Homo-oligomer: A and B are copies of this chain.
């Protein structure tokens, strides 16, 4: 699915409800909540934090769901501000390419 279509799908989903998009800082707090849950799952996968309860999902599936929850929250904020994520992602690749060209060692394919 195109990233643009994902933004539209989220928009359609949100707009079926009267409440619509929350105020930006509320959406941001919701994003942080998802990021926190993602951190818990990574900690659990990396061996430091035992899980409290059994979960019928595999650890990788739980992680996948938390990543997608986080992505959904992020898209909501982008939609609210009418930000086209794909075009800014292009700019990020440009920024990283010029900034990090000399920060990391490139693999030697010679």
Interchain nearest-CB distance for A74 vs B (Å): 6
Please give the count of copies of this chain that the complex contains. 4
Q: Which residues of B contact A56 (CB under 8 A)?
A: none
Residue in B3, B9, B35 whose CB lies within 8 Å of A31: B35
Q: Residues of A within 8 Å of B, CB-based: how many?
A: 71
The secondary structure that dominates the A interface is helix
Known: A2-B1, A35-B31. A88 touches B68 (CB 8 A): yes
Q: Find the residue from A29, A30, A49, A83 having the highest chain B CB count within 10 A.
A: A29
- Distance to closest chain B CB from A18 (angstroms): 5
B96 A13 Cβ-Cβ under 8 A: yes
